[in-house]
């Protein structure tokens, strides 16, 4: 498949994530949208990695070009998992305190 498809899909996912983060007020939805953006990036990394690998394979059969990008994806997923655990913990604490996951309640830190 041409790389453009992957890029278009990733761009769509990213934009959905951005719009979700900007427009929604529910903390969990915002969280999911952030994950969506991360995954859009992951998708691009994998797609470009594959593209580089196939073009390098034509020159050298023992190449491992582009392999580092796929490693990177794992790191991102690990970091994202850690982030989710911290983030969800924050949201749980927030719910306990204010009985809501509406982020606009958080502005009571103001003043």
Partner 1 sequence: MISLIFLVPFFPLIGFLINGLFRRSLSKTAISIIGSGVILLSFIISIILFFDVKDNGGIVVHYFNFINVESFQIPFAFQVDQLSVIFLLIITGVGFLIHLYSTSYMHAEPTEHFGRYFSYLNLFVFSMLLLVLGANYVIMFIGWEGVGLCSYLLIGFWFKNDSYNYAATKAFVMNRIGDLGFLLAIFWILNRLGTATYTEVFQQASSLSPSDATAITLLLFVGAVGKSAQIPLYTWLPDAMAGPTPVSALIHAATMVTAGIYMIARSNVLYSLSHLSRDVVAIVGLATAILAATIALYQNDFKKVLAYSTVSQLGFMFLALGVGAYTTGVFHVMTHAFFKALLFLGAGSVIHAMNGEQDITKMGGLRKKLPITFFTFLIGVLAISGFPFTSGFISKDEILVATYAHSPMLFWFAVFAAALTAIYMFRLLMLVFYGGFRGTHEQEHHLHESPLAMTIPLIVLAILSAVGGFVQLPEAFGGHHYFNDFLSPVVPAEVPEGAGVATKEYYLLGGTAVGLIIIALATYKLFAVKKFTRVYTGFKKILADKWYIDELYNSIIVKPLNSIAGFLNTVIDKSIIDGIVNGTGRFVNYSARQLRLLQSGQVGNYILFMVLSITVLFLVFWNQEIILAFLQKIF
Which residues of this protein are in contact with partner 1, per CB under 8 A?
Answer: 18, 21-23, 25, 30, 103-104, 106-110
Residues in CB range of 73: below 8 A, 6 or more apart: 42, 45, 46
Angle at 92 between CA 88 and CA 98, to 5 degrees: 140
Minimum Å gap between C-beta 15 and partner 1 is 10
96 vs 110, which CB is nearer to partner 1? 110
Minimum Å gap between C-beta 10 and partner 1 is 15
62 vs 108, which CB is nearer to partner 1? 108
10 vs 49, which CB is nearer to partner 1? 10
CA distances from 58 to 3, 18, 63, 68, 86 (A): 17, 38, 9, 19, 44
Minimum Å gap between C-beta 110 and partner 1 is 4
* Three-state DSSP state, 26: strand
């Amino acid at each position: 498949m041409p790389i453009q498809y992957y890029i278009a899909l990733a761009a769509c996912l990213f934009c959905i994530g951005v719009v979700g983060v900007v427009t929604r007020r529910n903390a969990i939805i915002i969280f999911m949208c952030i994950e969506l953006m991360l995954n859009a990036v992951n998708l691009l990394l994998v797609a470009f990695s594959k593209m580089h690998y196939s073009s390098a394979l034509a020159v050298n059969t023992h190449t491992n070009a582009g392999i580092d990008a796929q490693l990177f994806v794992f790191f991102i997923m690990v970091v994202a998992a850690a982030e989710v655990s911290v983030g969800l913990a924050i949201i749980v604490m927030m719910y306990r305190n204010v009985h809501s996951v509406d982020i606009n309640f958080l502005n009571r830190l103001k003043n």
